[in-house]
Amino acid sequence: MQSFQSQMFTKTLVTYMKCFRCGREYPASANAYVCPICGAGNNSTDPGILDIHYDYEALRFVLKQTGKWMLVRQDMFRYLSLLPVEKPGSVLPVGGTPLLLVPRLAAHLGLQALYLKDETQNPTHCLKDRATAIATTMALAQGKRDIYCASAGNAAISLAGFCTYTKQNCHVFVPYGASSVQLAWLYHYGADVFVSSGNYDDAFNEAEEAGVKYGWYSRNCALNPYLVEGKKTVAFEIATQLNWKIPDIVVSPVGDGCTLGGVGKGFRELKEIGQTNSLPLLLGVQAEAIQPAVHRYNQHPLLHNHSGDSSTLASSIAVRRPRNILRLLSELEKCGGWMLSVSDEDMIVAQRMLTEEAGVEAELTSAATLAGLLKLSKRESLQGKTVVLIITAGKRDSIP
Ligand SMILES: *Cc1c(COP(=O)(O)O)cnc(C)c1O
Ligand SMILES: [Zn+2]
């Protein structure tokens, strides 16, 4: 097994890529974004997002023989054998965030245990850093100095922060009306900021146009299939921290669907390699005002994309056309679970509870997790359950 351990540093275990739309399989390529047949989709069709597969059989064997498949380090690269990079990047250290037991909140809901996965402790205070770590690592490996993304806030701030460390050039496309606090963070980190005259979905299209034109590396999680691989490490960490005892339910806010889709994939892979023997139920939460993923889950065919101009204070999930919806629906089917929506008022109440009863300063979007769990508790018995809420980002109310 010596050879396997050293091999892990020189070669990835990626085997092939598979399209979520048509199911076609392709040889792994570091530059493939979407399925060449299905394309990037449009307003009425989903993009042909690719999913990365690994040699799970080899890992299962290694785990059985040696009990060891993880590296000895604190950050997310300890799970290198299930990541698409050859070696850990020289990037800001991400992950190893606390899994906080919160008994006061658990008592409200009659739970056996409630945990907060506190992603506010990452370098730029959000879970997005996990995807950014993969993007900057892969861009560096390809010798690309320029990286771009479209973002309502956190992904752009994350990329900007990481690029200061690696001295890469960061180009961000933000929607009209991005808050002055978000813009201040971007300028603070020295990003090249393009403010769209439209919403997030317009900024997304503008970013893609520029990215293709200039040959920049894409940090758009909803297209670049490698980025979800970073996000799934949050599931690996939760399982590790619970000593491989899988929680009953894991809750995340849903925008494009990459985060919760990644979480589902992470737990599935642990089972696939024989590290664990069950899967959690996934609960995805959206804002009442913009809930296309909830409608898709409930199979309302006319409501697949959100065309109205209603708005929500939960700006990080105000996505009218969820681009990774096929991944999310596929994971919901495999792991089981629910999608539901909550009002902005519910999120405000939940945000206050997180501060006052757990001491965690969550972004409003992240408080959707607790609001969603409170809502679920009215129709499902949660008595005796163990639940993890993913606190995806911290509050940014001051200008750096
Ligand atoms: C991006 C984001 C989400 C949603 O992630 P998706 O991958 O778009 O579904 C949730 N919470 C916060 C704070 C985010 O920034
Ligand atoms: Zn396809």
Helix axes 258-272, 233-241, angle to 10 degrees: 60
For ligand 1, whether the C-beta of 363 sits within 6 Å is: yes
Tell me the best of 259, 323, 354 to mutate to test the pocket of ligand 1, counting ligand atoms within 8 Å of each CB and taking the most.
259
For ligand 1, whether the C-beta of 254 sits within 6 Å is: yes
Ligand 2 geometric centre to CA of 115 (Å): 38
Q: Mind listing the pLDDT tens digit for each residue in 239-282?
A: 999 999 999 999 999 999 999 999 999 999 999 999 999 999 99
User: For residue 152, which ligand has an atom nearest its CA?
Assistant: 1
- Nearest ligand 1 atom to the CA of 328 is 9
Which tokens go with 167? 């001295």
User: For residue 24, which ligand has an atom nearest its CA?
Assistant: 2
Eight-state DSSP code of residue 216: P
pLDDT at 139 over 50: yes
Q: Mind listing the pLDDT tens digit for each residue in 177-197?
A: 888 999 999 999 999 999 999
Q: In 10 A of CB 113, how many CB atoms?
A: 16
How far, in Å, CA of 4 to CA of 72, rounded?
15
pLDDT of residue 221: 72
Tell me what the mean pLDDT of segment 233-243 comes to.
98
20 neighbors 50 (Cβ within 8 angstroms): yes
pLDDT at 10 over 60: no
Least confident among 71-80, 92-101, 121-130, 199-208: 199-208
User: For residue 261, which ligand has an atom nearest its CA?
Assistant: 1
Phi then psi dihedrals of residue 15, to 5 deg: -105, -55
Ligand 2 geometric centre to CA of 376 (Å): 35
How would residue 302 be classed by pLDDT, with cut points 50, 70 and 90? low
Closest residue by Cα to atom 14, ligand 1, is: 316
How far, in Å, CA of 356 to CA of 396, rounded?
18
H helix intervals, the chain? 2-7, 56-66, 103-109, 128-141, 154-166, 180-188, 200-214, 227-231, 233-241, 258-272, 292-297, 325-335, 344-358, 364-376
For ligand 1, whether the C-beta of 132 sits within 6 Å is: no
Specify the higher pLDDT residue, 44 or 109. 109
How far, in Å, CA of 80 to CA of 98, rounded?
20
Specify the higher pLDDT residue, 59 or 5. 59
User: For residue 392, which ligand has an atom nearest its CA?
Assistant: 1
Neighbours of ion ligand 2 (CB under 5 A): 19, 21-22, 35, 37-38, 48
**25 has which bridge partners?**
18
266 neighbors 235 (Cβ within 8 angstroms): yes
How far, in Å, CA of 30 to CA of 27, rounded?
10
Ligand 1 geometric centre to CA of 65 (Å): 38
For ligand 1, whether the C-beta of 135 sits within 6 Å is: no
Which tokens go with 376? 């679920």
Look up the pTM and report it.
Answer: 0.94
